[in-house]
């Protein structure tokens, strides 16, 4: 199993551009998440999904959109990129249940200039 795969690993955007961060998992997990991590800070939850067709906002959803058309994929869309969105983005997935161990991708480092 590849686990959670994120692309791209690095990206530089200009202010006002848009892009999509891709996330796919091959563990058949119901739950998927997007987090962002600013330098020296903890992770902040952007959006999450409990299954195909179901998404909900996390702690910091403004400026982002998500969709979940399949169990495997959970893309994160940035519209009108701003310097404040410069961050490392992590996608994660998990089973439902008590253990609910989250499996994280390697991260996507985004810089907005």
Q: How far is the CB of 40 from other proteins (least distance, A)?
A: 9
Residues 6+ apart with CB under 8 A from 26: 1, 2, 3, 5, 72
Question: Which x/- pattern, by CB under 8 A, does the window 72-101 give for other proteins?
Answer: ----------------x-x-x-xxx-xxxx
Determine if 48 is a binding residue for other proteins (CB under 8 A). Answer: yes
Residues 6+ apart with CB under 8 A from 35: 43, 44, 45, 46, 58, 89, 90, 91, 92
Residues that bind other proteins (CB under 8 A): 4, 30-31, 33, 35, 41-45, 48, 50, 56, 58-59, 88, 90, 92, 94-96, 98-107
């Amino acid at each position: 199993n590849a686990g959670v795969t994120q692309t791209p690993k690095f990206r530089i955007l200009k202010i006002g551009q848009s892009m999509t961060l891709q996330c796919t998992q091959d563990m058949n997990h119901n739950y998927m998440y997007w987090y962002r991590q600013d330098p020296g800070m903890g992770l902040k939850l952007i959006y999450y999904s409990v299954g195909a067709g179901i998404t909900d906002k996390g702690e910091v959803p403004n400026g982002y959109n998500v969709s979940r058309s399949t169990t495997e994929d959970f893309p994160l869309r940035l519209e009108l990129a701003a310097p404040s969105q410069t961050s490392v983005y992590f996608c994660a997935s998990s089973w439902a249940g008590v253990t609910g161990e989250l499996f994280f991708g390697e991260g996507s480092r985004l810089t907005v200039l």
